[in-house]
Chain A
Amino acid sequence: MINLLRAEWIKLRTVTMNWVLGIIALAFPLVVALLTAYFRGDDTGFNTLTTRDYVGVLTGTSVVSALLCGVVAAASITAEYGFGTIRPTFAATPKRLHVVLAKGAVAVGFGMVLATIVQLIGWFAGSAIADGRGATMDLAFADTAVPAMVGTVLLTGMMALAGYSLGMITRSTPAAVSILIVWPLIAEGLVGGLLGLILDDSDVGRWMPFQAGIRMAVLDLNDGGPTRLAAGIYFGAVALALASLGAWSVNRRDA
């Protein structure tokens, strides 16, 4: 398995698109959060930055990074089918589920490491900048800050798993990426709203899979929806179910 993990890591890091998406996923939340720390860190103004505000910006923008990591994960398998490299891959490792496992581990690991780096740099650099501007940030000021930051890391891993699974099922980069982006951003809102009307329950939308997953990165969850833990378990279960379906499909169909 170590050999396979090495092979998949070489594949991931030797494609330029993955670097570009990785850099954007890393830079986007950091740039937005650090600029926020810089421009709103002055405590002489009425719009003083609070720890809660800052972590909210950091975790909120990190959802975009999570989606981008999902795209990288999806492309890690769809590109193999697109360019035909899945055949030498399975010729080199006939036990397909081993490949599926190694590829998934690398994609999820890539996302979680990247998200951890974003949260750590975002927090330490942001609080240093805010301190320099006269504002004081302390995680003790916001009891949900650390859970939200940890939740962001988990969300990124699950989003990568979901993207990878969609890639295994569709075998098409446009299809997998479209579903990954359009479903959480548009379709779930529509479906959730429609189900809310039919079931006469406005909370049902919060149980849509991706919306539930995104709740892991949200600071304030006092809206009657699922708790951070429940939302995480629910979205994780959906991602695992998709992964199982994808692995079954990859194993069963012609390469």
Chain B
Amino acid sequence: MITVADLTKRFGSKLAVDHLGFDVRPGVVTGFLGPNGSGKSTTMRCMLDLDRSQSGTTLFDGRPYRSLHRPLHEVGALLDAGYVHPGRSGRNHLRWLAASNGIARRRVDEVLELVGLGSVGGARVRSYSLGMKQRLGLAGVLLGDPHTVILDEPANGLDPEGIRWIRDVLTHLAGQGRTVLVSSHQLSEISLMANDLVVIGQGRLIEQCTVADFVDRHADRWVRVKSPAVAGFASTLSAAGGEVVAVDDTTLDVHGLACEQVGELAAREAIVLHELSPQTGSLEDAFLKVTAAAQEYRSAAMGGGA
């Protein structure tokens, strides 16, 4: 269990984390989401006491991080796969980590095999791809067999097999009752592996809930209608108060009307339907909607030139 309370971190005049508080419960994967610059990485660094916060506490099973005697046995963290000396081999990187917490050397080879780097453990890290560095970082996380895992963008640089592998690892760890907090920009990945969400923007908590609740509350809902006679039916739907968007010659998306209402209208007009299905927006849609006001860096629209 991780308990973050009233965490505040300021860099000069910039307030990066603003009285942030949330809980991460064991047994599930918790996604930590926020737009770029929202303070996710800073929060994670403050949680591990790497950045000195101005106020607030983070407790791991009731204890602050700095009080942990051998933290790698309790909390495994991967904040950046690049935090490795390029001239050192992957195996030696893990060896010093293991030595610092009294972990046996054989465990280093075990975790290297576990992450699929057994054959390249002796190679210098400068020859590793980003995906290999991510795997090495994850090996470091697993070194002490911790009951809490914190990962910042673990899928960065991984190929599809690696992304699936990391998803399986995290859900497996959570299934064993461990506490797993993972930040990612790949919302489709989060939606596949996370049960809970912590969403922040501009350093403040926007929402903490389950993924299902989040999507339920914030994602758009509409009805998809497929029919060989959509042209006439569109005006009927509009007259009934629906907002109709033509997807193609035979498909409409109807906002503002329930599935049952659309079905009854079709029956009344004797229109043949090939599809009538409720649709829900994705986690990505919900996330963009919720964080719209908290976006620090916005992209310009493409193709909208003068």
Contact = CB atoms under 8 A, between A and B. Distances in A.
Interface of A: 3-4, 6-8, 10-11, 14-17, 79, 83-85, 87-95, 252-255
A249 B275 CA distance: 67
Contacts of A88: 83, 97, 140
Interface of B: 45, 48-52, 65-68, 71-72, 75, 77, 79-80, 82-89, 92, 95-97, 99-102, 140
Contacts of B68: 94
B85 A91 contact: no
A91 B48 contact: yes
Contacts of B80: 84, 87
Nearest to B49: A94
Nearest to B53: A254
Given A91-B50, A93-B100, A253-B52, 6 more contacts: A7-B96, A14-B96, A87-B83, A90-B50, A91-B75, A254-B45
A226 B49 CA distance: 45
A83 B84 contact: yes
Contacts of B85: 11, 14-15, 79, 83, 85
A92 B72 CA distance: 6
17 contacts: A3-B101, A7-B96, A7-B99, A10-B95, A14-B85, A83-B82, A83-B84, A84-B83, A87-B83, A91-B48, A91-B71, A92-B100, A93-B71, A94-B71, A95-B66, A254-B51, A255-B50
A21 B19 CA distance: 48
A254 B71 contact: no
Contacts of B75: 91
A255 B51 contact: yes
A94 B79 CA distance: 15
A169 B300 CA distance: 42
Given A7-B96, A254-B45, A255-B51, A91 B77 contact: yes
B10 to A, nearest CB: 11
A252 to B, nearest CB: 7
A88 B79 CA distance: 9
Contact of A3 (B50, B66, B99, B140): B99
Nearest to B100: A7
A132 to B, nearest CB: 42
Nearest to B82: A84
A10 B96 contact: yes
Contacts of A253: 52
Contact of A252 (B52, B82, B96): B52
A67 B298 CA distance: 51
Contact of A10 (B72, B84, B99, B102): B99
A11 B71 contact: no
Given A87-B83, A92-B100, A10 B92 contact: yes
B149 to A, nearest CB: 13
B102 A11 contact: no
Contacts of A94: 48-49, 65-68, 71
A16 B126 CA distance: 13
A92 B87 contact: no
Nearest to A88: B83
A17 B87 contact: yes
A70 B287 CA distance: 52
A102 to B, nearest CB: 9
Nearest to B103: A3
Contacts of B88: 11, 14-15
Contacts of A255: 45, 50-51
Given A84-B80, A85-B84, A11 B45 contact: no
A214 B78 CA distance: 45
A122 B16 CA distance: 57
B17 to A, nearest CB: 12
B75 to A, nearest CB: 8
Contacts of B67: 94
A10 B91 CA distance: 11
A15 B85 CA distance: 8
A16 B102 CA distance: 25
Contacts of A11: 85, 88, 96
B52 A14 contact: no
A92 B97 contact: yes
Contacts of A84: 80, 82-84
A17 B87 CA distance: 9
A148 to B, nearest CB: 36
A4 B52 contact: no
Given A91-B77, A253-B52, A14 B92 contact: yes
